[in-house]
Amino acid sequence: MALLTVIIPTYNEAKTVRQIIERVNIVPIDKEIIVVDDGSSDGTDRILRDIRLDNLKVIFHGSNRGKGSALLTGLLNASGEYVIIQDADLEYDPQDYLKLLNEIRPDKCDLVLGARFTKGYQGMLLPKLGNRIITNLLNLLFGSGYNDFFTCYKMAKKTVFDSLHLKSKGFEIEIEIASKALKNILRIKEIPVSYHPRNYSEGKKIRIKDGLFAVLTILKYRFFS
């Protein structure tokens, strides 16, 4: 059994998917890499079929089901003791896995978050405002005080992820993880990580509608789930 499973939900990331797999692979940790191609239509699937690594498993969805569905597929196939989520772009540095693992082992916390904004926000205005609004709303409703619940980098034991009984199909999987972690009183820590945001022309996918849906999802998990 590997120490760490890296799950990479992927949709239309032909420009970066090979490079991110290479960056993940060189991190000096015993790991398996699971890439779930979520029905890409830009040639990502062809690139993935050409990559040969002994610790790489590639799973293909026949159609686009959403980030949450890709993550759930990855979790079903994960065999590592710990699991981390890795986006297929180049916004995050996989070398930060070492810091996150050091913080969570041995049994220092249940969930560690790679916080992007401890030294101020980087990136475009709309994502900045959206992140602050939904983070502050979640902190207000759950009585918490975290900096970045919606970071891609969430690391926990696989048994912890399994205990949350995740069901979300789209980007709202991030809110479901955060809300259920808080409701279950998990021990959560945040560790600053590197962050190099891309813009929409470079392939960033989050839009205003995702922020509005995020607000409704937070209310759902706080009051109705």
The CATH number of the domain where 177 resides is what?
3.90.550.10
pLDDT confidence tier of residue 51, bands split at 50, 70 and 90: very high
Q: Is the residue at 204 inside a domain?
A: no
Q: Helices in the chain by DSSP H: which ranges? A: 17-25, 44-50, 67-77, 97-104, 125-142, 158-163, 173-183, 208-223
Per-residue pLDDT at 218 exceeds 60: yes
What is each CA distance from 120 to 123, 145, 151, 171, in whole angstroms? 10, 16, 14, 24
Say how many domains are in the chain: 1
Q: Is the residue at 114 inside a domain?
A: yes
Mean pLDDT (whole number) for 56-74: 97
- pLDDT, position 125: 65
Q: Is the residue at 76 inside a domain?
A: yes
What's the rounded Cα separation, in Å, for the pair 161 and 84?
A: 10
Task: Please state the φ and ψ torsions of residue 72, each to the nearest 5 degrees.
Answer: -65, -40
- pLDDT, position 134: 87
What's the rounded Cα separation, in Å, for the pair 41 and 91?
A: 22
Task: Please state the φ and ψ torsions of residue 213, each to the nearest 5 degrees.
Answer: -65, -35
Q: Is the residue at 108 inside a domain?
A: yes
- pLDDT, position 203: 45
Q: Is the residue at 142 inside a domain?
A: no
- Percentage of residues in the chain having pLDDT higher than 70: 90
pLDDT in tens, 6-43: 999 999 999 999 999 999 999 999 999 999 999 999 99
What is each CA distance from 208 to 128, 131, 191, in whole angstroms? 11, 11, 27
Q: Is the residue at 18 inside a domain?
A: yes
- pLDDT, position 225: 75
Mean pLDDT (whole number) for 78-103: 97
Mean pLDDT estimate for the chain: 90
The set of residues, in sequence order, having a beta carbon less than 8 Å from that of 152 and lying 6+ positions away, is 85, 86, 87, 91, 92, 114
- pLDDT, position 199: 59
As to burial, measured by CB atoms within 10 angstroms (0-12 exposed, 13-18 middle, 19+ buried), residue 30 is exposed
Residue 194: which of 90, 73, 104 has the closest Cα? 90
Mean pLDDT (whole number) for 82-105: 96
Q: Is the residue at 134 inside a domain?
A: no
Q: Is the residue at 209 inside a domain?
A: no
Mean pLDDT (whole number) for 116-126: 66
- pLDDT, position 126: 67
pLDDT confidence tier of residue 147, bands split at 50, 70 and 90: confident
User: Cis before residue 9, ω within 30 degrees of 0?
Assistant: no
AA letter at 199: N
pLDDT confidence tier of residue 62, bands split at 50, 70 and 90: very high
pLDDT confidence tier of residue 202, bands split at 50, 70 and 90: very low
- Is there a contact between 198 and 124 (Cβ–Cβ < 8 Å)? no
Domain holding 20, by residue range, is 4-123+148-198
What is each CA distance from 203 to 79, 88, 182, 190, in whole angstroms? 31, 11, 31, 27
pLDDT confidence tier of residue 213, bands split at 50, 70 and 90: confident
- The alpha-carbon radius of gyration of the chain (Å, integer) is 16
